[in-house]
Amino acid sequence: MSEIQSTAIEPDFPQQSQLEEMVHDVIAQAQKLGADGVEAGVSIDAGLSVTVRLGETETLEYNRDRGLGLTVYFDHRKGSASTADFEPAGISATVQAACDIARYTNADPCAGLADAEHMARVIPDLDLYHPWQLDVDQAIELARDCEDAARTVDERIVNSEGGTLSSYTGMRVSANSHGFLGGYRTSRHSLSCSVVGRQGEEMQRDHWYVGTRDYRDLATPEEVGRMAGDRTVRRLGTRRLSTRQVPVIFAADVARGLFGNFISAIKGSSLYRRSSFLVDHLGKQVFPEYLHIHEQPLLKKALGSAPYDSEGVATRARDLVLDGVLQGYVLDSYSARRLGMQTTANAGGVRNLTIDPGEKDLPGLLQAMGSGLLVTELIGFGVNILTGDYSRGAAGFWVENGEIQYPVDEITVAGNLRDMFMGIVEVGNDVDLRGNVRCGSVLIEQMTVAGA
């Protein structure tokens, strides 16, 4: 079995104090040119990605990126500019460009920095930085081991799209003219594999991946590969379904999208434009009474964690849905002003959106469903946030008597998000932690499944 190990040498990044000095200088230059509000940020990222296909190294990429961006305000007139040139002349030209842009834009009374009283003053250590100094040969070996494990699962696996190992680290420093200054380092490591199976004339593809802040928390390459191979093989032998109305389970890794649709419906830009089916629903029931949805931005080592949002506002844990009732929206400072409310520290999105699980695992949910559809893949973007209408291509498995019977594809699952949310029977405890939405599989009471 491959061992995931490293000497964990520190990447060659500049000192954080150097970047802090840079953003302070940018703010001072913009203020000298007449800006009454300035925010600036600088980032440096480095990474390695290796893909092995059919045992041979297919791609080997190393990247090192950097960028500086700023936004200035002249009496509610906004201008933004960015550069990768860190030389003094390049920075000065970028500051001048942002100020010039602002002078030619129309004033918007809602535009401006987030209010000073909401700025993060203490930056907690969220344990987000675990560098992995990989030797290229070691990276190739791990990716190859992952693919080999997938290809040997079953003789019906006949091709591969490759095993990929990626490792990235980054550092970001942000500041604004309210006196906010924050910076921290992050890392993200992932291992993935995708293979192709054949049975007769039928061919199917599936994949698996893992992603963590700390490389020591990754599953082994063999585990990832075997999962990719197993998922591919179980899709062979697909059948068609006739159109019907049945209970539907969204597997944990696709159920995240349902709650992503919910966030789209309660974010500020959708609300002040009145382009959401959840306009004016604050304090109203939108999910069953047992459902609790909350944001946990300060979880240590979590992939969605951040001590402040992209405007420098301190993040905090908060409820979005409690007892099925909508408790709050998802707002940055601009949308909050448009709505006559206060920012919820969501500039840049939600962080570690968490849907509290029930007591059943996926097999338990299948038993509770009895007969219906288990969705393991969604295709297309047929979601209308204005009306809540939902229609997406899907693949998965037909279930009878709580047991998977056979795989199905070329189907469509359809409904309305309002009914789907209220029709959630239970959320499984098979919580998927690989992204910014942390939830288990979701059993929905009834949806329309359109087939052949």
Nearest-CA neighbor of 250 among 376, 418, 369? 376
Decide yes or no: CATH 3.40.190.10 for domain 16-233.
no
- The pair of three-digit structure tokens given for residue 56, joined into one six-digit string: 């041979």
In 152-238, where does DSSP find H-type helix? 221-233
Kind and range of the H or E run holding 88: helix 88-103
Residue 219 CA to residue 215 CA, distance in Å, equals 9
Provide the β-strand partners of residue 174.
41, 182
- Could you give the 3-state DSSP secondary structure of residue 61? strand
Domain ranges of the chain: 16-233, 238-452
- The pair of three-digit structure tokens given for residue 2, joined into one six-digit string: 């491959």
Burial class of 373 by CB neighbour count within 10 A (0 to 12, 13 to 18, 19+): buried
3-state helix, strand, coil in the chain (%, to 5): 25, 40, 40
Contact 194, 162 (CB under 8 A): yes
Whole-number Cα distances in Å, 341 to 112, 262, 271, 386? 15, 20, 12, 22
Residue 431 CA to residue 260 CA, distance in Å, equals 15
- Could you give the 3-state DSSP secondary structure of residue 80? strand
- The pair of three-digit structure tokens given for residue 352, joined into one six-digit string: 């570690």
pTM (predicted TM-score): 0.93
In the block, which residue shows the tokens 């990429």? 61
- Could you give the 3-state DSSP secondary structure of residue 187? strand
- Could you give the 3-state DSSP secondary structure of residue 152? coil
Residue 122 CA to residue 348 CA, distance in Å, equals 20
Q: In the 8-state DSSP scheme, what is residue 269? A: H
Mean pLDDT by 10 residues, the chain (452 residues): 47 86 97 97 96 97 95 97 97 98 96 97 96 93 98 97 97 97 97 97 96 97 98 96 96 96 97 97 97 98 97 98 98 98 97 97 97 96 95 97 96 97 98 96 97 72
In 340-416, where does DSSP find H-type helix? 362-369
Burial letters 310-342, b for 16+ CB under 10 A, else e:
bbbbbbeeeebbbebbbebbbbbbbbbbbeebe
Residue 303 CA to residue 128 CA, distance in Å, equals 8
Per-residue confidence (pLDDT) for residue 8, from 0 to 100: 41
> Phi-psi region for residue 373, left (φ > 0), alpha (ψ -120 to 50) or beta?
beta
Residues contacting 66, CB < 8 A, separation 6+: 42, 43, 44, 45, 84, 86
Contact 149, 94 (CB under 8 A): no
Tell me how far apart the 2 most distant CA atoms of the chain are, in Å. 72
Provide the β-strand partners of residue 442.
250, 427
